[in-house]
Amino acid sequence: MGNRDTGFPSGTKFLIFKSLKIKNFRHGPCYDIGRFGIQIVASPRHADGLIVTGPVSENMRLALIKTWEATAPPKLLIAVGACAISGGPFAGHPEVHNGVEGLLPVDLYIPGCPPHPVTILDGLLRLLGRIETPPL
């Protein structure tokens, strides 16, 4: 589940809201989210924000912070899955931060372990205002 083709840390993806080809869904059905104007890009300088999809280990903390700082404002941070939100099964371990929120401000949480692709798509579209959230 690494991100070897972009050279950036595993579990960190980059997002631009003009166009998104989810590289995480390599096997199985194809969710064409490019039609909604969402695209994964390889450089934080071309991104509108970051998607964190895994636990943030102490070894990756500095890389994540530097990548966040390289992203031009205004920027978003999306935590996808239990590991990114709260540390998941690694919570409380001395080498893993209990979610990305303690390090950077999170704009959208997408729960699940792992989250269903439709849940990810729903969260992104609600963030973009393409789906209206019904009043409570």
Written as one letter, the residue type at 42 is A
Inter-residue contact 8 to 47 (CB < 8 Å): no
Q: What is the pLDDT of residues 15-60, one digit of tens each?
A: 444 444 333 334 445 667 777 888 778 788 888 888 888 888 888 8
Which pair of tokens denotes residue 124? 């992104």
pLDDT for the residue numbered 44: 83
In a domain, 10, yes or no: no
pLDDT at 134 over 90: no
With respect to residue 54, please indicate whether it lies within any of the assigned structural domains.
yes
DSSP structure string for 5-72: TTTS-TTEEEEETT----TT--SSS---GGGGT-EE-S-GGG-SEEEE-S-EEHHHHHHHHHHHHHSP
Length reported for the chain: 136
Look at residue 60 and tell me if it is in a domain: yes
Model confidence pLDDT, tens digit, residues 59-112 = 888 988 998 998 888 888 899 999 899 988 888 888 888 888 889 999 999 999
Residue from 37, 8, 7 nearest 21 by CA: 37
At 89-102, the pLDDT tens digits run 888 888 888 888 88
Residue 121's CATH number? 3.40.50.12280
Q: For residue 120, what pLDDT band results from cuts at 50, 70 and 90? A: confident
pLDDT value of residue 125: 87
Q: How many domains does the chain have?
A: 1
Range of the domain at 76: 42-128
